[in-house]
A and B are shown apart, each in its own frame.
Chain A
Amino acid sequence: MKITRRKLAAAALVPAAALAQNQPALPRNPDEELNAARDRAKGLSDALARQSVPMDTEPAFQFKA
């Protein structure tokens, strides 16, 4: 199969395009940056809320008396 320069360039561009689609837009200033971080924290909170945990499951940090 003959590979043309155009085909090569297109192949190289595909992962970059796929990557770009995955990336959230870049915040433009510190306020936007903080809001984006808060949104991510809210996302964490929502993900944790969806997980059910039996009442008798204690937190996994140690306390020794």
Chain B
Amino acid sequence: MPAIPADVFFATIPELNARLTSREISAEELARAFAARLEQLGPRFNALALALPQHALRKALEVDKDIKRGRLRGSLQAIPYGVKDLISFAGQPTTWGARPFAGQVFDYSATVVQKLDAVGAVLTGKLAMVELAGGGGYRYASASLTGPGLNPWDRTRWAGGSSSGSAAAVAAGLVPFSLGSETSGSIVTPASYCGVTALRPTYGLVSRHGAMALAWTLDKLGPFAHTAEDCGLVLEAIAGKDGKDPGSAGKSFYYTPQYARPNKELRVGFAPVDFAERAEAPARAAFAAALTVLKDTGVQLVETSLPRFPYGPVLSAVLAAEEASIFESFITSGKVEELADAAQIAGLKAALELPAKDYLKAQRIRRLIQEAFSRLFADVDALIAPGRAGPATKLDQRLDAGGPAAPAGTPTGFQGIIPAGNLAGLPALVLPCGFAENLPVALQFVGAPFSENTLLAIGKEFQTRTDWHKRRPPGV
């Protein structure tokens, strides 16, 4: 069998489709090559939870037969992918990234896996994650069954969490796309740190059935890929009504860039301070250049401020109350002590003691937050902020303390946009926008509920004018 050209490992989904359509490459060849690469390089970044080469090969052979018979199932047919190890795949371990669940096996696959299987995508492996998606609040990157997620751009840096493996695997060209989850920041952070494109969908757009629950009213599943367009194609396949997910919005998603509003009609809210004083110094030049590119696309950048709410405490209260209920028996049984991170263990125990009044108060404030964002999106079509204020943190850096404090009196900007966006169930698109200290930095676009097509259109236009998403980490 001829060797796969190296550029295939970083190809976009339409580029892979072109090679498949022209019979330059088969599903089997693609599956073999990606499965071997994931198995070989995944451990180098602590990105691999479980390799599934045999399953991938079986599925790819089926897909090749389908293609021969003219049974075409869309743009994801024959495309290899991986899922965060909190998404179940029938008959195989789903560890939730945590030692106490290392032997856990479900007899059913998550809805998203079933949907991707139906369109002919090829699952090649489960990807590493922070234990229990980090809901208890972890102190170190090492809070994972598979060790700290290592950043493909620099293995002394963290890949971000909690979807560490999902981001690292795409960045290193181990899978063309992957699925991760976000309760608050678990897609945005690793995508930013690893320099890949990712989408946090609107709450309820993608079924969570078969995925670990961390906080029912916050959890979302979403794609990591090389481009905004790839994210749109994956979202189209995984979105949709699911009676097995009580949070399902009952809506489908069709990726329709051809119907996107012209950029010059779009008003994008931003706070200049986020790209200057509140950004880490090494990242400011990249952010400034990215804003210039964005202006050149024609969008109107308008100074905006976020509604004032205690987003962090509200999110933490909702998360604590819901995770405490979900993991109550795990915590009270003492199994919680087997987790890797001491802060996470204590956080889960303390969560059991959160008063009901605090949960209810948080959910009532959340209603006000939702209303305030609804008013905000009457004035702007999207918001933009740095994905994170700077590049990936060092592996041994404590994660339970903030970064360097901004000088007193610095405006707050969009501080809290990650918890705010998650509380209001808003979609976010993350894309790389440059480098700082030889590490990627990223932008996040946040939109009104179900405005994914608008965000993807802005992202696609940005990526036609830049090549940050095409950069590859050294040595892979």
Contacts and interface: CB of A to CB of B under 8 A. Distances in A.
A34 B363 contact: no
Contact of B367 (A15, A44, A58): A58
Interface string B333-347: 000000000110111
Interface of B: 137, 217, 246-247, 309-310, 312-314, 316-317, 320, 342-343, 345-347, 349-351, 353-355, 358, 360-368, 370, 398, 400-405
11 contacts: A19-B403, A22-B404, A37-B347, A41-B320, A41-B353, A41-B354, A44-B316, A47-B312, A51-B309, A57-B367, A58-B367
A48 B365 contact: yes
Given A37-B347, A44-B320, A53-B365, 5 more contacts: A34-B346, A41-B350, A44-B317, A45-B358, A59-B367
Contact of A38 (B314, B350, B367): B350
B404 A15 contact: yes
A15 B350 CA distance: 32
Given A33-B345, A57-B367, A60-B370, A48 B403 contact: no
Nearest to B281: A15
A53 B361 contact: yes
A27 B346 CA distance: 11
Closest 8 CB pairs of A and B: A59-B363, A37-B350, A47-B313, A23-B401, A37-B346, A33-B346, A60-B366, A60-B367
Interface string A13-52: 0010011011110010010011011101101110111110
Contacts of A50: 310
A24 B370 CA distance: 32
Q: Which one of A21, A22, A41 has the highest number of Cβ atoms from chain B below 10 Å of its Cβ?
A: A41
A49 B357 CA distance: 10
A15 B217 CA distance: 37
B256 to A, nearest CB: 28
Main DSSP-derived SS at the B contact region? helix
A60 B363 contact: yes
A12 B295 CA distance: 34
Nearest to B246: A62
A42 to B, nearest CB: 9
Contacts of B358: 44-45, 48
Interface of A: 15, 18-19, 21-24, 27, 30, 33-34, 36-38, 40-41, 43-45, 47-51, 53, 57-62
B350 A34 contact: yes
A58 B364 contact: yes
A51 B400 CA distance: 24
A19 B398 CA distance: 10
B76 to A, nearest CB: 31
A51 B363 CA distance: 12
Given A22-B404, A23-B398, A33 B364 contact: no
Contacts of B350: 34, 37-38, 40-41
A60 B402 contact: no
B320 A18 contact: no
B430 to A, nearest CB: 24
B106 to A, nearest CB: 26
Contacts of A38: 350, 353
B342 A48 contact: no
A53 B317 contact: no
B113 to A, nearest CB: 26
A44 B353 CA distance: 12
Nearest to A16: B404
Contact of B361 (A34, A36, A48): A48
Given A50-B310, A51-B309, A53-B365, A18 B405 contact: yes
Contacts of B316: 40, 44
Nearest to A36: B346
Contacts of B401: 19, 22-24
A53 B368 contact: yes
A29 B366 CA distance: 35
Contacts of B217: 60-61
B402 A51 contact: no
B337 to A, nearest CB: 8
A24 B365 CA distance: 28
A22 B358 CA distance: 27
A40 B400 CA distance: 11
A57 B403 contact: no
Nearest to A55: B364
Contacts of A34: 346, 349-350
B283 to A, nearest CB: 13
B340 to A, nearest CB: 14
B346 A30 contact: yes
Nearest to B360: A59
Nearest to B425: A60
B364 A22 contact: no
A7 to B, nearest CB: 16
A48 B404 contact: no
